[in-house]
Amino acid sequence: MSYFAFIFAAFFAVIAARQALAQTAAPAPAPAGPPNITAVLAKGGQYTTFIRLLKESRVDEQINSQLNNSFNGLTVFAPTDGAFNSLKSGTLNSISQQDQIELVLYHVLPKFYTLSTFATTSNPLNTQASAAGGGADTLNVTTGTAEGQQVNVSTGVVETPIASALTTDFPLAVYSVNKVLLPYDLFGPKSPASAPLPAADGKPGKGPKSAAGSAESAGESSSAPESNFSGWRAFFLGAGLVISAIGSAFC
């Protein structure tokens, strides 16, 4: 390649790089920090019971810190106040504090789903809650094939359509549901046959459902991470440094 051809190519490479930088730099300042689940729900205006349960169980803090650290994002099903009001009276009070935490965590999936990714996901889906026998409590999501397809969530105890989306900006998706998602593990028929193993004594796997435990399951349950954000970020950061070095050398 001749000297002039090289200069010519380099010149255009710098222009292209500067344009690319300008384009990628522009949308950056939009999210001032990780999203805040409580703020999203408060804006929705009809989730006061769910917000209270999130706070009491401190799952709100767990969610916010996971949103700041997780590359998989999170999906939250938010039952409306009407959903809680239509529960059989005493339902919440009939379960232990520990089970209330399980109930709240059951509404959180350790992965970001849009309505269209739900359609291509195979059931069952892990939630952040862990079942009595160990492993994650799961739920199913089914999507109709018809036009304006409805997405249903089913737990084995209740089935309800996703009523609307409060947010679907990665890393947080929040969907409104008109029923409380009652986990089969807590509200299904209590028959010994349904347990995977005959329980010896005590309640195995019913340890404190800590943030650490759920964060762990968040990592495990993503069987197919579609992208490695930290890797790409490092790559783009490196490329950006090289490009700006070239840029400043030329200008």
Nearer to ligand NAG, 9 or 42 (CB): 42
Asked if 230 is part of the footprint of ligand NAG (rule: CB under 6 A), the reply reads: yes
Token pair 């804006």 in the structure block, residue? 43
Q: Which two tokens stand for residue 203?
A: 């309640």
Nearer to ligand NAG, 14 or 182 (CB): 182
Nearer to ligand NAG, 18 or 152 (CB): 152
Q: Which of 34, 133, 213, 247 binds ligand NAG (CB under 6 A)?
A: 34
The site for ligand NAG, by CB under 6 A, has a size of 26
Rounded-to-integer distance, Cα 17 and Cα 138, Å: 46
Asked if 161 is part of the footprint of ligand NAG (rule: CB under 6 A), the reply reads: yes
Asked if 38 is part of the footprint of ligand NAG (rule: CB under 6 A), the reply reads: yes
Long-range contacts of 240-246 (CB under 8 A, 24+ apart): 240/21, 243/17, 243/18, 243/20, 243/21, 244/21, 246/10, 246/13, 246/14, 246/17
Asked if 116 is part of the footprint of ligand NAG (rule: CB under 6 A), the reply reads: no
Q: Which of 48, 159, 168, 215 binds ligand NAG (CB under 6 A)?
A: 159
Binding map of ligand NAG across residues 189-228, x = CB under 6 A, - = no contact: ------------------------------------x--x
163-182 residues in contact with ligand NAG (CB under 6 A) are none
Angle between helices 48-57 and 37-44 (to 10 degrees): 160
Name the site residues for ligand NAG (rule: CB under 6 A). Answer: 33-34, 36, 38-39, 42, 64-65, 68, 123-124, 140, 142-144, 150, 152, 154, 156, 159, 161, 225, 228, 230-231, 234
